[in-house]
Structure 1
Amino acid sequence: MIDRLCRLLLVLLLLAITAAAPARAASLDAGFRTFLEADIWPAARAEGVPRGVFDAAFTGVSADTKLPDLVLPGGKDTVAEINFQSEFKSGADYLSERAVAGNAATARKLRSRYGDLLSRIEQRYGVPAPIILAIWGRESAFGAAKIPMNAFEVLGTKAFLSRRKAMFREELVAALKIVADGHLKVSEMKSSWAGALGQPQFMPTKFLKYAVDFDGDGRRDIWNSVPDTLASIANYLKAAGWQAGRDWGFEAEIPAAVSCRGEGPDKAYRIGDLVDAGVSRVAGRTFPKDELSATGHLLFPAGRLGPSFVATPNFYVIKEYNNSDLYALFVGHVADRIQGAGPLVGAWRKTDRLTRGDVFRMQEKLVANGRDVGAVDGLAGFKTRRSIGEAEARLGLPETCWPSRALVARL
């Protein structure tokens, strides 16, 4: 009798939940339309966007609650347990030999095909062709990747529901302005799940700032024009501070006496001083003579559990394009491989399997202990890695500068 009653209550509960779902969806959609009309339209109108463009952009568009990093009404503002963005996953996977070698091989063929174009772009912007090609390959498989999502649905949803509403609100207005300025039709505004556009995967504000018309046809076409695509990438990096004539960095052997707590763009060293402290390039190579008196930075993208590097300021310029150590490392390494370099020497060692949520909670504990982890976002950036090293040193653990279950237990 009790079991039968429990089953009946469960059925009634499921029916109630099912019946409530359409009401919640209708309420969410109504809120989305109100948000667009009351918030986005006045901002777009102030930027000169015609009403016809605004209406066309959002005809048939609704909030896409399947997108990542959303905070739904009534939900808790926290990070997802699992991080689906490839740039923040395993270095061994992201920089697999298959991915690196494949990109480098294709890029070498394209460098031959577009040699004159790339030379003109490099002469104007000071950014080496291999770096430009590596970014093109990483962002859109050299223009071959499918980018199927409706940019206005993605950006509208994220402006309404994401954890970074203000940022995506600005991007949404910029996307409307792109159409209003005649660069693309509404139907052609396709993006990634993050709202990035075209072959270089520019966010709309970056398009308005850095996209260029290099083929001279009067349009900044990063969707179909190879000259505009490659020159726009170079222009972006130049504006971000690319130092012409310098490399991005060098794989290095860094002795234990040089702490992994010393990494980061805010800690600069004379490369010659690092050499004097025992830092050397891998495989017996030496640093270029003109680099010895220049500024470098220690880089441990997986703490002491992966390859280590001496990065130049240009590494952090690449990070301005995509704020991920693995992304910038992939671009720099592919650029080296285009020019004939071999695979990385250092190995990505096996690490504890921690979710983004695990790292988020670790960061909270580190902050509670007075550590500076940067953003508490579940991602092991350089400030989090340094803070882990500091905590390990204080607790008498081996200094790895990488999240581990042993440190979680001690914190």
Structure 2
Amino acid sequence: MIRTAVFAVLSLLVALCGVSPAWAATKAQVESQFARWLEADLWPEARAKGVTKQVFDRAFNGVQLDWDLPDLAPPGFPKPKKRTQSQAEFRSPGAYFSEKRLQSLAASGRSLMQKHQAVLRRIEDKYGVPASIIVAVWGRESGFGRAKIPHSAVGVLVTKAFMSTRPDLFRTEILAALQILQRGDVSASAMRSSWAGAMGQPQFLPSSYLKFAVDFDGDGKRDIWNSIPDSLASIGNYLAQSGWVRGRDWGFEAVIPQGTTCALEGPDRAMPIRDLTAMGIIRISGRPFPEHERTAPGMVLVPAGIYGPEFVVTPNFYVIKEYNNSDLYALFIGNLADRMAYGGGAFITPWGNVGGMLRSDIAKLQTVLERQGYDVGGADGLPGYKTRRSIGEWQAKNGAQPTCFPTPQLLKGLN
């Protein structure tokens, strides 16, 4: 009797608190724990958010844990090994810009912009985001809706909420997914996502869907899986609500002259573009900056330091980063949009043969700079703009030409 009671208490602890005794180390036992967790833990919170039991039960009917997903931490199993930064290399930024892929996306995008010009014009009028930017995001995220989206969003999100390395994040997302199902915009079987839970043609997480998805075709549903008008307008709404400045470009490839430091970059160092031109910074095309841009704020961007293309970007560049927090992603979208809108091509300045450093070595470099009082944005092994400009400032202070990019030689010099 006592042993039975102890077993019952342990089972309850496993279900409610995530306790992982040694016996809970088989998939069958974890599946059983998962079923209890759904009812005892997830359901009460879903109910508090307005989800009915009928919708909840229908969502999880037949759903099992997806053991093939990455970054799982099943209870009772050995904890996943931390990814050591010494095993990952920072690749050259140029590797991100496949010319073959960009040309293919631009050709398809131009055709689709023509095909959907009427709806894109309405979207642009309403949200102020250029059609070319919206279509570029559409192409980058889902191949203009043609990419296969293989997973059940419910299955992915509930698996990761129950046993991933970031359960709190995915708990928020599965609860948002249940709210979507409660509203009736889509069925659970039709709610398809990537392995990370990003849904439909715009690749929205459920929380983003709740904030930004719109019904633009007027059928009463916000369908980012099958409706092109809804998908495109939802992208436009996302960017507009993230701060897109109507009438401004995303940025321009530029030239920073010798004698002007590359350490100017960063959104916190914005200044009127005319002040940048007063320093000798010009468009690489030789054309002047548009007059309405000259009095507006711009920022220097040097994603490869002096070893690659240089840019003057607008606040809209950082709005694109709200969609995906990567300088290279935002440049990809901007370049693809320019190809579709103006017939542009690759950036004129080639990407240098940089990169290849271990992330752990870049993190060491960042740590050394931090100890000397520089704000590198965290020693994460990725050279963002704060790291790049800190490198340039350190180099100038120590009598070297600023290059604004990590290299093995720089690491040796710092040490």
TM category, shorter: 0.7 to 0.9
Identity, % of aligned pairs?
Answer: 51
1:145 — aligned with what? 147
How far is 1:21 from its partner? 12
Aligned to 1:269: 271
Is there any run of 5+ residues in structure 1 with no aligned partner, and where? 1-19
Distance 1:293 1:372, change over 3 A: same
Q: What per-residue deviation string (whole Å, max 9, x for no partner) do you get for residues 103-156 of structure 1?
A: 111111111111111111111111111111111100100000011123233323
Alignment of 1:48-87 (within 5 A): 48-58=50-60, 59-62=62-65, 64=67, 66-68=69-71, 74-75=79-80
Q: Is the 8 A contact 1:154 1:194 kept in 2?
A: yes
Structure 2 counterpart of 1:323 = 325
1:373 matched to which residue of 2?
376
**Cross-structure match for 1:383:** 386
- Once the 2 structures are TM-superposed, how far is the Cα of residue 313 of structure 1 from its aligned partner? 0.5
Residue 354 of structure 1 corresponds to which residue in structure 2? 357
- Aligned counterparts of 1:322 and 1:243: Cα–Cα separation in 2: 18
How has the CA–CA distance of structure 1 residues 79 and 170 changed in structure 2, closer, same or farther, with 3 Å as cutoff?
A: farther
Contact 1:150 1:190 in 2 (8 A): yes
Distance 1:153 1:113 in 2: 35
Superposed displacement of residue 73, structure 1: 5.2
Q: Which moved more, 1:338-347 or 1:311-320?
A: 338-347
1:107 aligned partner, one-letter code: G
SS of 1:389's equivalent? helix
SS of the aligned residue for 1:61 comes to coil
Q: Deviations over 1:9-48 (max 9, x none)?
A: xxxxxxxxxxx99935456556655554454333222111
Aligned residue type for 1:74: K
Partners of 1:69 and 1:79 within 8 A in 2: no
Root-mean-square deviation (CA, aligned residues, Å) is: 2.8
Shift of 1:160: 4.2
C-alpha contact (below 8 Å) 1:149/1:193 kept by paired residues: yes
The TM-score normalised by the length of structure 2 is 0.84
- 2:178 maps to 176
Deviates further, 23-32 or 292-301:
23-32
Residue of structure 1 in register with 2:338 after alignment: 336
Q: For structure 1, which segment, 161-170 or 299-308, has the greater mean C-alpha deviation from structure 2 after superposition?
A: 161-170
After superposition, the C-alpha distances for 1:57-106 in whole angstroms (9 at most, x for unaligned) are 4444215364148798534555665669xxx8543222222122211111
The reply on whether 1:102 has 2:104 as its aligned counterpart is: yes
CA distance in 2, matches of 1:384, 1:159: 33
Aligned to 2:158: 156
The 1:273–1:148 alpha-carbon spacing in structure 2 relative to 1, beyond 3 Å, is same
Distance 1:34 1:392 in 2: 58
1:310 is displaced (CA, Å) by 0.3
1:218 offset after TM fit, Å? 0.5
What is the aligned length?
389
Which residue does 1:204 correspond to in 2?
Answer: 206
Give the Cα separation in 2 of the matches to 1:345 and 1:210.
36
Q: How far apart, CA to CA, are the structure 1 residues paired with 2:382 and 2:71?
A: 15
Give CA-to-partner distance per residue, 1:202-233, whole Å, 9 cap, x none: 11111111111010001000110011111111
**For 1:232, which of 227, 231, 234 is the aligned residue?**
234
Q: Report the equivalent of 2:406.
A: 403
Task: Find the counterpart in structure 2 of residue 291 from structure 1.
Answer: 293
In structure 1, distance between residues paired with 2:169 and 2:106: 34
> 1:357: Cα distance to partner?
4.3
Deviation at 1:175, TM superposition (A): 1.3
